[in-house]
Amino acid sequence: MGFFKSLFGGANESPEEKKEREAARNFDVLKTNGLQALRTGHADYAINSLTQALQLKDDLEVHDYLSQAYAQAGQYQQAIEQLNILAEAQPDNIHILAAMAKIAYMMEDYNAMGATCEKAMLIDKDNAEVMFLYARAARGRNDLVNAVAMYTKTLMLNADFATANLERGEILLGMGDIEGAAEDADHLMEVAPDAEDALLLKGQVLMAQQQPAEAISHFDRAIAINPYCTAAYKERGAARLALGDKEGAESDMRQLLELDPDAMKGITGGFAAG
């Protein structure tokens, strides 16, 4: 009898019991609908459903989903507020702190990102993801030497963390360490030969090594993978110009400007002139 009463209510169910049963049912429906909306990319609907669910019942899992929905909608401050609630409830949960660091990264608040990573490292100083996020925070603050050191530590903790190779290689190339950048680029060509960003880095390294013809082949592959890759058109145009292919360089320039009308701001005078 108790089972059927829980499903359908009983003849002796009080108004308070009925209200609680309906609230619990509505909470479950709103939570489920919110999660489904989050997973299908309907952030606004997810936010609405999950917010209503929290009005019926305070639930940490719903706060987590809501933080993700806010982040998906680009409402980063609201996402941080939800994560702060989670962090207060579970102060030793490193995954919550990592999520907060990622939101800070999206907000380009690198000081807050670094501080959050430092808190996380007090929990686990050998967490590769946290070290990687700390490296990104240092890079965002233009603390490039420390960023390289932290990317290196990330790779010591997890040798398969290819994004750390990519971002370290980009920094090393910008610092003029062509040999170091080449090592990262070559590693990426082994583990992710069809990755657009890896192909770009390898091509840029080849340009720095005065090998424009070889660089073009990598930019060609990047464009084949993503025809909208503006960086590849820009880099290939510069490589073609270096080989004296003015017509090819101008073709890449036209394609670049078609995809990104503001791209002229990042083009050198020589390339712009064709």
Tokens 């809501």: give the residue. 66
Count of Cβ atoms closer than 10 Å to residue 141 Cβ: 14
Q: What is the pLDDT of residue 13?
A: 74
Rounded Cα distance between 31 and 14, Å, is 26
Note the pLDDT of residue 171.
98
Q: Which residue has the higher pLDDT, 264 or 69?
A: 69
Q: What is the pLDDT of residue 269?
A: 47
Q: If you write DSSP's letter for every residue of 232-273 in order, what string do you get?
A: HHHHHHHHHHHTT-HHHHHHHHHHHHHH-GGGGGGS-HHHHH
Once rounded to an integer, what is the mean pLDDT over residues 257-270? 71
Alpha carbons 229 and 203: distance in angstroms, whole number: 14
Q: pLDDT value at position 11?
A: 56
Average pLDDT of the segment spanning 167-180: 98
Longest C-alpha distance within the chain, in Å?
Answer: 90
Q: What percent of the chain has pLDDT over 90?
A: 87
- In DSSP notation, 27-38 reads HHHHHHHHHHHH
Average pLDDT over residues 216-244: 97
DSSP string, the chain: -HHHHHHH--TT--HHHHHHHHHHHHHHHHHHHHHHHHHTT-HHHHHHHHHHHHHH---HHHHHHHHHHHHHTT-HHHHHHHHHHHHHH-TT-HHHHHHHHHHHHHTT-HHHHHHHHHHHHHH-TT-HHHHHHHHHHHHHTT-HHHHHHHHHHHHHH-TT-HHHHHHHHHHHHHTT-HHHHHHHHHHHHHH-TT-HHHHHHHHHHHHHTT-HHHHHHHHHHHHHH-TT-HHHHHHHHHHHHHTT-HHHHHHHHHHHHHH-GGGGGGS-HHHHH-
d(CA 71, CA 79): 6
Give dist(CA 259, CA 26) in Å, integer.
47
pLDDT over 70 percentage in the chain: 92
- 263 pLDDT higher than 90: no
CA atoms within 13 A on the CB side of 114: 15
- Per-residue pLDDT tens for 15-68? 888 888 898 999 999 999 999 999 999 999 999 999 999 999 999 999 999 999
Q: What does the pLDDT look like over 191-205, one tens digit per residue?
A: 999 999 999 999 999
The mean pLDDT of the chain is 92
